[in-house]
């Protein structure tokens, strides 16, 4: 099958056993190392620049090509991922959200992650959200809490129904003003009141990102504030993209052609039009599949999650590896 590409998505990669937050939904460093060796054994890892050359210049892909992508700009990517990739002579694609690096604020998506990782009894968070919905129903014109539970509390391949409910309500379903109040209250109560220090501990600095670039890693856009890009106006989308490109330009990245990784995998036709006007060459979603550069729109390429590939260099080919080699 011509131009079939395996794009693998990573977020947290850390020594979970010795972490202050061992319940964060991440990949242990030892498992990452094994998975990278499995990928190196079965695939030819290409860089972000090579992908753009294939799309723009018509370059050929190697057999069984793969791309390694790392979203959100975590310090893990510098301290854990970078040394392993460098030792294996592999290149990765890194997509930081810029606000956390420039303004040293913790992204709402990460506040929610660490709240959930800090509270073993998830029903406590569910009950607090329900309480806030009931108390603010008339002010914000909200639906009954039971309706939200019925509509969004559905488990998926990554999370329980309780966790999906919490994430959905705090990331999208509630009005931004109310969910910001709830998130900040829960973050102060269960995680920390010192957001700036937490931000310095959680994300890479601009200098560290530049170090990745100097060692051949690609750095692209993940937006400025990590919004659901299909839930904001086209004017806000333009502002998000332009602010992100300004940051990339400030660290020496090439913005004459570049790659976008969509926060939450969310996009719409308005956003795609804006990206085309800004010379975006490729876009990464969270749809689970292999990418065909012949059949997929290059601005909506699917990716696999780290859970979709083995974490053992000696593992047998799984269904995705078999499909990639077909």
What does DSSP assign to residue 103? T
> What is the enclosing helix (H) or strand (E) of 28?
strand 27-28
Q: Could you say which of 178, 196, 214 is where a domain stops?
A: 196
Residue holding tokens 């890892």? 45
CA–CA dist 32, 40 (Å, integer): 12
Token pair in block for residue 9: 């998505």
* Domain co-membership, 102 together with 113: no
Answer whether 252's CB lies under 8 Å from 245's CB: no
* Domain co-membership, 102 together with 119: no
pLDDT for the residue numbered 5: 97
CATH number at 233 reads: 3.20.20.370
What does DSSP assign to residue 9? E
* Domain co-membership, 279 together with 214: yes
* Domain co-membership, 22 together with 10: yes
pLDDT for the residue numbered 1: 46
Q: What is the phi/psi pair of residue 204, to 5°?
A: -70, 155
* Domain co-membership, 100 together with 116: no
Please list the residues that pair with 45 across neighbouring strands: 66
* Domain co-membership, 246 together with 288: yes
Domain count, the chain: 2
* Domain co-membership, 256 together with 114: no
Q: Could you say which of 196, 224, 246 is where a domain stops?
A: 196
* Domain co-membership, 97 together with 134: no
The domain in which residue 173 lies consists of: 108-196
pLDDT for the residue numbered 2: 60
For the chain, which residues score pLDDT lower than 70? Answer: 1-3
Q: How far is CA 110 from CA 67, 72, 105, in A?
A: 24, 9, 10
* Domain co-membership, 212 together with 306: yes
* Domain co-membership, 191 together with 313: no
pLDDT for the residue numbered 295: 83
* Domain co-membership, 93 together with 211: yes
Q: Which of 47, 88, 86 lies closest to 66, judged by CA?
A: 47
* Domain co-membership, 82 together with 213: yes
Q: Could you say which of 164, 196, 228 is where a domain stops?
A: 196
């Amino acid at each position: 099958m011509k131009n079939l590409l395996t794009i693998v998505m990573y977020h947290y990669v850390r020594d979970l056993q010795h972490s202050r937050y061992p319940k964060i939904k991440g990949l242990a460093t030892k498992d990452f190392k094994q998975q990278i060796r499995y990928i190196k054994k079965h695939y030819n890892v290409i860089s972000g620049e090579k992908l753009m050359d294939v799309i723009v210049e018509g370059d050929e892909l190697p057999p069984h090509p793969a791309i390694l992508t790392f979203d959100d700009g975590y310090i893990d990517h510098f301290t854990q991922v970078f040394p392993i990739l460098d030792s294996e002579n592999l290149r990765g694609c890194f997509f930081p959200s810029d606000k956390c690096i420039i303004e040293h604020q913790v992204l709402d998506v990460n506040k929610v992650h660490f709240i959930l990782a800090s509270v073993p009894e998830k029903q406590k968070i569910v009950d607090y959200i329900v309480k806030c919905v009931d108390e603010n129903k008339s002010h914000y014109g909200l639906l009954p809490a039971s309706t939200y539970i019925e509509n969004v509390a559905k488990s998926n391949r990554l999370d329980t129904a309780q966790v999906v409910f919490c994430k959905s309500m705090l990331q999208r379903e509630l009005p931004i003003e109310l969910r910001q109040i709830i998130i900040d209250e829960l973050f102060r109560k269960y995680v920390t009141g010192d957001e700036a220090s937490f931000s310095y501990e959680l994300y890479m600095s601009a200098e560290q990102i530049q170090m990745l670039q100097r060692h051949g890693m690609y750095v692209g856009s993940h937006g400025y504030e990590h919004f659901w890009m299909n839930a904001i106006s086209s004017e806000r989308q333009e502002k998000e993209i332009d602010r992100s490109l300004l940051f990339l330009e400030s660290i020496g990245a090439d913005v004459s052609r570049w790659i976008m990784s969509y926060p939450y995998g969310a996009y719409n036709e308005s956003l795609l039009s804006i990206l085309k006007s800004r010379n975006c060459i490729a876009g990464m979603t969270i749809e689970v599949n292999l990418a065909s550069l012949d059949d997929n729109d290059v601005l909506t390429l699917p990716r696999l999650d780290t859970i979709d590939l083995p974490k053992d260099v000696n593992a047998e080919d799984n269904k995705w590896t078999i499909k990639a080699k077909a």
